[in-house]
Amino acid sequence: MKMLKLALYIVLIINSLLSAKAKTDCNPIQLIPCATAILSSSAPSEACCVKIKEQRPCLCKYIKNPRLQKFINTPNAKKVIKNCGTSFPTC
């Protein structure tokens, strides 16, 4: 009985962690730390890279938005994403 309770507890913990991770707040304002790097082709800051990695699941959504795609789907933005150690999404 104790093993069953322990297994159930572990499943609940894993489920809550996965749910929390899956819920990315897709808010392009979160990428403000990257604005300078994207617009001027300078090196991204650590804060920018943290936000790029957090917002990566949202990038396709941003690319499909006509107002945002001109900032996200650019050579500089692709360079920033790559310099932050992640890959540009294939949408």
The confidence score (pLDDT) of residue 23 equals 62
- Range of the structural domain that residue 73 is part of: 27-83
The confidence score (pLDDT) of residue 50 equals 96
Count of C-beta atoms within a 10 Å radius of residue 57? 14
Is residue 8 assigned to a domain? no
Number of independent structural domains in the chain: 1
Name residues whose C-beta falls within 8 Å of residue 72's C-beta, 6 or more positions apart in sequence. Answer: 59, 62, 63
Is residue 55 assigned to a domain? yes
Is residue 19 assigned to a domain? no
Is residue 64 assigned to a domain? yes
CATH code where residue 40 lies: 1.10.110.10
Q: Which segments of the chain have a pLDDT < 70?
A: 1-23
The confidence score (pLDDT) of residue 91 equals 87
Residue owning tokens 């604005």: 35
The confidence score (pLDDT) of residue 27 equals 93
Whole-prediction pTM? 0.70
The confidence score (pLDDT) of residue 65 equals 93
The confidence score (pLDDT) of residue 10 equals 45
Is residue 88 assigned to a domain? no
Closest CA to 59 of 41, 37, 86, 85: 86
Is residue 71 assigned to a domain? yes
Is residue 31 assigned to a domain? yes
